[in-house]
C-alpha cells in the first residue's frame, strides 16, 4: 500500500489541469486561428467557441515582483490563465470577449508587457544562460538579446516583414538555443584551447573521465613536475568546452578570444520548403558589452536588406537561396572568407553534414 501511494513523479502537474474550461471543452475541436492584430490571436472551434490569446514580450529572467503583476492581470481579465511560450513570451488567455479591450488597455498602461511577436515580424529571441548562470559561455545571453531586441522592436509589434524572422542565441556551441535552425542565429564561439591548471587538476578532476569527454580525442595523460595532469593537442581542439564541463581545472573562457558568430537562413517549418540548417554568415565579432554594437548593427542590416528584397512569405533562407548566397553576401555587404568554406574531403563517405558552403 505504501508503494502504491508513493509519489514518485514530482515534476510539474499534468498540463490539462491548467487549461481554461473553454479549452477543455473544445479539446481536439479547434479549427483555425487568425491573427487579428500584432500580438492578438483568436482561436475558433468547430463548436463555434472562441478563445483569444494576447502575446506579450517579456524577459527570460523575471523578478517575483514582475510575475506578481502578470498574475494580477491574469486574475483580473483571464480567470487566472496565462502561459509562457518557448520564446519567453507571455500569453494571456482570454475566454470572455468583453475582457479583450480592457486587457489591451491594462497592458498598454503597464508598459512592460508590449503586445506583439506574431506573424510577419520578429518575435522574442529564444536564448540560453550566458554569463548569469552557465559555466561555458563565450558570450552573454540576456545582454546581447536585450541590445538586439531594443533595435528591432519596431518589427516586434508590427507585421511589416515578408515573413516571420526567428532569432536565436546560444552562448556556446553546446547550443542550448535553436541556432542550427533559425532565420538569424547568434552563437558564442571560443577560439582558444583550454588552459590547464596543472597544480590542482588531479585534486579536482577525474583524469580518465576528462580524457573521455573530448569528442576529438585531443586530450592525453601528462605529468608536469610532481603533478598528474593532462595535455591538449591544440591542433585537434575545436574549443567546445566539454573538458571544462568535466574538469573545472581546464577553463577556456578568454576575454580576447571569445566572441560571436552569426548564422542565417535556418528554419524548422516545412511550409513551402524543407526545413533548413542555418549557414555561417559572420565568423567572428568580438564581445562588446554592454550594447554589442557590431552584432546589433550587422543583424539590423541583414533584417533590413531581407525586408527590402524578399518576396512576401519568403523566409530569410528561402530568399538567400532564391537570389543565390553570393548575392546574399553582396547585398548585405558581409565579407565572404575561407572561414565560410567546408572542404572536409570525407563528407561524402561519413554521416557528417555541413552548415558551411561546400567547396
For binding to ligand SF4 (CB under 6 A), which residues are involved?
A: 128-129, 134, 136-137, 170-172, 174-176, 193-194, 213-214, 216, 218-219, 232, 237-243, 252
* CB half-sphere exposure, 298, CA atoms < 13 A: 24
Least distance CB 144 / ligand SF4 (angstroms): 11
Contact 89, 57 (CB under 8 A): yes
Task: Report d(CA 210, CA 243) in Å as an integer.
Answer: 6
Nearer to ligand SF4, 55 or 127 (CB): 127
Nearer to ligand SF4, 128 or 332 (CB): 128
Nearer to ligand SF4, 45 or 128 (CB): 128
Nearer to ligand SF4, 54 or 171 (CB): 171
Q: What percentage of the chain's residues is helix, strand, coil (to nearest 5)?
A: 35, 20, 45
Task: Report d(CA 180, CA 127) in Å as an integer.
Answer: 13
Least distance CB 188 / ligand SF4 (angstroms): 7
C-alpha cell at 64: 517575483
3-state secondary structure 39-101: CEEEEEECCCCEEEEEEECCCCCCCHHHHHHHHHHHHHHHCCCEEECCCCCEEEEECCHHHHH
Contact 189, 284 (CB under 8 A): yes
C-alpha cell at 168: 536565436
Contact 46, 79 (CB under 8 A): no
Contact 302, 331 (CB under 8 A): no
Least distance CB 224 / ligand SF4 (angstroms): 16
Nearer to ligand SF4, 113 or 187 (CB): 187
Quick one: how far is CA 201 from the chain centroid?
A: 34
Least distance CB 222 / ligand SF4 (angstroms): 13
Helices marked H in the chain = 2-5, 21-25, 64-78, 100-110, 142-156, 198-204, 207-212, 242-246, 293-309, 316-323, 325-332
Contacts of 289 (CB under 8 A, 6+ apart): 140, 143
Residue nearest to ligand SF4 (CB): 134
Least distance CB 261 / ligand SF4 (angstroms): 13
Least distance CB 102 / ligand SF4 (angstroms): 39
Nearer to ligand SF4, 258 or 314 (CB): 258
Nearer to ligand SF4, 116 or 193 (CB): 193
Least distance CB 290 / ligand SF4 (angstroms): 19
Nearer to ligand SF4, 95 or 245 (CB): 245
Least distance CB 87 / ligand SF4 (angstroms): 16
Amino acid at each position: 500500500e505504501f508503494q502504491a501511494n508513493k509519489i514518485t513523479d514530482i515534476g510539474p502537474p499534468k498540463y490539462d489541469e491548467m487549461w481554461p474550461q473553454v479549452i477543455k471543452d473544445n479539446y481536439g475541436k479547434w479549427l483555425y486561428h487568425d491573427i487579428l492584430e500584432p500580438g492578438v490571436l483568436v482561436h475558433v472551434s468547430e463548436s463555434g467557441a472562441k478563445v483569444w490569446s494576447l502575446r506579450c514580450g517579456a524577459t527570460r529572467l523575471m523578478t517575483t515582483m514582475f510575475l506578481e503583476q502578470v498574475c494580477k492581470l491574469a486574475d483580473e481579465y483571464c480567470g487566472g490563465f496565462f502561459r509562457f511560450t518557448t520564446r519567453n513570451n507571455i500569453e494571456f488567455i482570454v475566454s470572455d470577449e468583453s475582457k479583450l479591450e480592457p486587457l489591451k488597455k491594462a497592458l498598454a498602461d503597464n508598459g512592460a508587457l508590449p503586445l506583439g511577436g506574431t506573424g510577419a515580424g520578429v518575435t522574442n529571441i529564444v536564448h540560453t544562460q550566458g554569463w548569469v548562470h552557465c559555466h561555458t559561455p563565450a558570450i552573454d545571453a540576456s545582454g546581447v538579446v536585450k541590445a538586439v531586441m531594443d533595435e528591432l522592436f519596431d518589427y516586434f509589434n508590427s507585421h511589416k516583414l515578408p515573413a516571420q524572422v526567428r532569432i536565436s542565441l546560444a552562448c556556446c556551441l553546446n547550443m542550448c538555443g535553436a541556432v542550427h535552425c533559425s532565420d538569424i542565429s547568434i552563437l558564442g564561439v571560443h577560439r582558444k584551447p583550454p588552459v590547464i591548471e596543472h597544480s590542482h587538476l588531479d585534486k579536482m578532476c577525474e583524469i580518465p573521465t576528462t580524457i573521455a569527454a573530448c569528442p576529438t580525442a585531443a586530450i592525453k595523460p601528462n605529468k608536469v613536475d610532481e603533478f598528474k595532469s593532462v595535455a591538449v593537442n591544440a591542433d585537434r581542439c575545436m574549443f567546445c568546452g566539454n573538458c571544462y564541463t568535466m574538469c573545472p581545472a581546464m577553463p577556456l573562457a578568454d576575454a580576447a578570444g571569445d566572441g560571436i558568430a552569426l548564422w542565417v537562413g535556418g528554419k524548422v517549418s516545412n511550409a513551402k520548403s524543407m526545413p533548413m540548417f542555418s549557414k555561417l554568415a559572420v565568423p567572428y565579432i568580438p564581445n562588446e558589452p554592454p550594447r554589442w554594437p557590431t552584432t546589433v548593427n550587422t543583424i539590423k542590416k541583414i533584417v533590413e536588406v531581407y525586408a527590402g528584397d524578399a518576396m512576401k512569405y519568403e523566409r530569410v533562407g528561402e530568399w538567400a537561396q532564391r537570389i543565390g548566397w553570393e548575392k546574399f553576401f553582396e547585398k548585405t555587404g558581409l565579407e565572404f572568407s575561407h572561414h565560410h568554406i567546408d572542404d572536409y574531403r570525407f563528407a561524402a563517405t561519413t554521416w557528417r553534414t555541413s552548415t558551411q558552403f561546400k567547396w
